[in-house]
Amino acid sequence: MAGGSAIRGSRVGAGPMGENERGETAPRVFTSYFCANGHETRPAFAVDAALPDTWDCPRCGYPAGRQSEAPPNAPRNEPYKTHLAYVKERRTDEDGAAILEEALARLRARRGE
């Protein structure tokens, strides 16, 4: 067996830093946030920091609010829309028929029909 430290990667003076080396921590307050799935999250904030109205739930990803009785609603997922779906939102069937007839007339004129 080769010589050296019994604990690999350690060195003299390496160890956990205590408050005496880091300084004192800021006073903190724990605030409860509740999501629509009933999860409670308690992040820590500095006492003088402004608390956000919502916080993302780390368990489900839904937004969480500070009122357990009325948590924010889950975000609504919009289904994927095709190009045709967007066109149908902007144009009526009559507009589509008119555009199609115009395009066919140009094609026929170019062919000499």
Is 3 domain-assigned? Answer: no
Residues of the chain with pLDDT under 70: 1-22
User: DSSP label at 36?
Assistant: T
Is 9 domain-assigned? Answer: no
User: Do residues 83 and 57 both lie within one domain?
Assistant: no
Phi-psi region of 75 (alpha: psi -120 to 50; beta: other; left: phi over 0): beta
User: Do residues 33 and 57 both lie within one domain?
Assistant: yes
State the total domains in the chain: 2
Q: What is the pLDDT of residue 18?
A: 58
User: Do residues 59 and 82 both lie within one domain?
Assistant: no
Looking from the CA of 92 toward its CB, the CA atoms found within 13 Å total 3
Q: What is the pLDDT of residue 112?
A: 85
**What predicted TM-score, i.e. pTM, was given to this entire model?**
0.52
Structural domain boundaries, residue 106: 78-113
